[in-house]
Amino acid sequence: MVSIAVLDTTLRDGAQREGISLSVKDKLRIAQKLDELGVTYIEGGWPGSNPKDAEFFALAQRMDWQHSKVAAFGSTRKAGVPVERDLNVQALLAAGTPVTVIVAKSSRMHVTDVLGTRLEENLAMIRDTVSYLKQAGREVLLDAEHFFDGYKLDAEYTLCAVQVAAEAGADCVVLCDTNGGTLPSEMMRIIAAVRERYPQVALGIHCHNDTGMADACTLLAVEAGVSHIQGTINGYGERCGNANLCTIIPNLQLKMGYDVLAANRLALLTDVSRTVSEIANLRPDEHAPYVGSSAFAHKAGLHVSALLKARDSYQHAEPELVGNRMRVLVSELSGRGNITHKLEELSLGFGLNDAEVRAITERVKSLESQGFQFEGADGSFEILVRRARPGYQPSFHVLDFTVLVEKRADTAMLAEAMVKVQVDGKVMHTAAEGLGPVHALDKALRKALLPFYPELDRIQLTDYKVRILDEQSATAAQTRVLVDASDGERSWTTVGSSVNIIEASFQALLDSLELPLLRRASQQETGVAMGSDVQGREVR
């Protein structure tokens, strides 16, 4: 297998995405995840540009990197400044990294119009900087900025930049599509020309995604002969982002047969993707290839029926190879296969016959026609199944409830709820005030239930989402409410739907509180059936 080196620039190029601001601690945490993943290089930032990056490199020198080499990024010496006196170059040396990445102008327009220097001086800047860093014992990667745009403007000058960098000792010359405007056919043609002119020069590729082609161009560049790729986790980056390593790495390794990551490290990819998005405080892309939560999610009944017979019938790869998992969704499109698989996944299929499974399937379809949605509410699906099982006994009955919302001049908004609940034949009539009607209902309901079920005190509502289903009905629209709850160890989502947002919220709230009670009751029944020894251990 041909090996491909991977440089991850999430900490530099990725951090230039609008909305991302990484602390030094954040950068170190991401770097550790990248080291676990086993990328070849971790580009940590530009030590000469800001104190944060300088601090990162100082701390990075004290860490034990197992699989990756940390690289510092900077530019060639300034025009007219001796390389040994250039502050940026000296900051690169002070960073103490084994690898340095040098960005150099390779487009004559950028040399004359942006840098404002002579074409010959720019080539001298490349030569001097690469030679100086090589003499200092560094591995040097040269990023030929604006290479493809520059090639289309003046091919000979961009090729001269490649030649000068290689002659000065650059370990790899990286061809950069800095503006992200190069189409795959153009890229293949240009790389072929570079490879023909300089067959012995190690080439790399660095693509931006301004035309949505960064991933495709990177893969084609490898086919054209480059042995070094650059990109970011989740494709983060300035403007439209960079080439997405979470797509490129598995495609290279699983589809194209290249040696990219060490054995078994590809299975860490999904975890790395989601951890980086969490640290960056960005919502993960659920539909991202390979690593998204929906990447291997199946909803259509025909698809699921086929998958249960042959796992590769509707999947292009095994999700476990990238650390993901197959999911079967329950919806109005579900067949019995979806329901059966979901019951097995939740360990709820025991004791149900075909007629009961069919009844659950029809119940799901009926409720979804009323605005409920179970594919994002596993908790409500689970409680629906538990309620359908023979011998189901509700943990409590809500007899009625009232909500009052009041606003008087010069006073804060007041919300008050009254709930009448029956538990074990005893009726509890409670009231509570809250910050809003749902908060008040939650407090009143818990006040009634906690004397009977003190374990509910651990249940916390962690998210609350509202969606209008038919916007043309305006304020009379059908409303769907999703509630996320957690006991600190396990999380679940429940759903309610009604034209009345309070009723929809209360439906979801009731399910979120009854589900853990039904789970506990089921565990107790199972424990009795198994039996236990005198120390309370299960006896099978």
Q: Which of 58-67, 88-97, 375-384, 409-418 has the lowest mean pLDDT?
A: 375-384
Q: What is the pLDDT averaged over residues 476-481?
A: 79
Q: Given a cut of 80, is residue 539 above it in pLDDT?
A: no
Pick 472 or 516 by higher pLDDT.
516
Highest-pLDDT range among 242-256, 401-415, 461-475: 242-256
Which residue do the tokens 């070849």 mark?
40
Q: What is the pLDDT averaged over residues 171-187?
A: 96
Give the burial class of 410: count Cβ atoms within 10 A of its Cβ; 0-12 exposed, 13-18 middle, 19 or more buried.
exposed
Q: Which amino acid is at 434?
A: G
Q: What is the pLDDT averaged over residues 202-220?
A: 97
Nearest to 63 by CA among 100, 9, 27, 13: 27
Q: What is the pLDDT averaged over residues 41-45?
A: 96
Q: Given a cut of 90, is residue 216 above it in pLDDT?
A: yes
For residue 12, what pLDDT is reported?
95
Nearest to 256 by CA among 2, 58, 520: 2
Q: What is the pLDDT averaged over residues 153-170?
A: 97
Q: Given a cut of 60, is residue 137 above it in pLDDT?
A: yes
Q: What is the pLDDT averaged over residues 503-519?
A: 86
* Residues 290/250, Cβ–Cβ less than 8 Å: yes
Q: Given a cut of 90, is residue 355 above it in pLDDT?
A: no
Q: What is the pLDDT averaged over residues 84-98?
A: 95
pLDDT tier, 532 (very low <50, low <70, confident <90, very high otherwise) = very low
Q: Which of 41-45, 78-82, 91-95, 403-407 has the lowest mean pLDDT?
A: 403-407
Nearest to 37 by CA among 319, 266, 274: 266
For residue 296, what pLDDT is reported?
74
* Residues 453/395, Cβ–Cβ less than 8 Å: yes
For residue 385, what pLDDT is reported?
75
For residue 394, what pLDDT is reported?
82
Residues 6+ apart with CB under 8 A from 434: 415, 416, 417, 440, 441, 442, 443
* Residues 516/487, Cβ–Cβ less than 8 Å: yes
3-class state of residue 95 by DSSP: coil
For residue 332, what pLDDT is reported?
46
pLDDT tens digits for 107-133?
A: 999 999 999 999 999 999 999 999 999
- The Cα–Cα gap between 492 and 514 comes to 12
pLDDT tier, 538 (very low <50, low <70, confident <90, very high otherwise) = very low
* Residues 479/501, Cβ–Cβ less than 8 Å: yes
pLDDT tier, 263 (very low <50, low <70, confident <90, very high otherwise) = low
For residue 376, what pLDDT is reported?
58
For residue 523, what pLDDT is reported?
67
Q: Which two tokens stand for residue 234?
A: 């989740």
What percent of the chain shows pLDDT beyond 70? 83
pLDDT tier, 375 (very low <50, low <70, confident <90, very high otherwise) = low
- The Cα–Cα gap between 47 and 25 comes to 16
Burial call 204-213: b when 16+ CB within 10 Å, e when fewer: bbbbbbbbeb
Q: Which of 120-134, 203-217, 371-385 has the lowest mean pLDDT?
A: 371-385
Q: What is the pLDDT averaged over residues 167-186?
A: 96
Q: Which amino acid is at 277?
A: S
> Across all residues in the chain, what is the average pLDDT?
85
3-class state of residue 310 by DSSP: coil
pLDDT tens digits for 487-500?
A: 888 888 888 888 88
Strand residue runs (E) in 302-377? 327-328
What percent of the chain shows pLDDT beyond 90? 55
Kindly report the number of other CB atoms within 10 A of residue 351's CB atom.
9
For residue 121, what pLDDT is reported?
97
Pairing mode, if any, of strands 414-423 and 397-406?
antiparallel
Pick 368 or 104 by higher pLDDT.
104
For residue 370, what pLDDT is reported?
62
- φ/ψ of residue 72, rounded to 5: -100, 145
Q: Given a cut of 70, is residue 463 above it in pLDDT?
A: yes
Kindly report the number of other CB atoms within 10 A of residue 449's CB atom.
22
Q: What SS3 string covers 209-274?
A: CCCCCHHHHHHHHHHCCCCEEEEEHHHCCCCCCECEHHHHHHHHHHHCCCECCCCCHHHHHHHHHH
The domains of the chain, with CATH numbers, are: 5-279 (3.20.20.70), 297-375 (no CATH)
- The Cα–Cα gap between 144 and 205 comes to 9
Q: Given a cut of 50, is residue 300 above it in pLDDT?
A: yes
* Residues 166/173, Cβ–Cβ less than 8 Å: yes
Pick 310 or 144 by higher pLDDT.
144
Pairing mode, if any, of strands 228-231 and 5-8?
parallel
Q: What is the DSSP string of 430-470?
A: EEEEESSHHHHHHHHHHHHHTTT-GGGGG-EEEEEEEEES-
- The Cα–Cα gap between 138 and 99 comes to 6
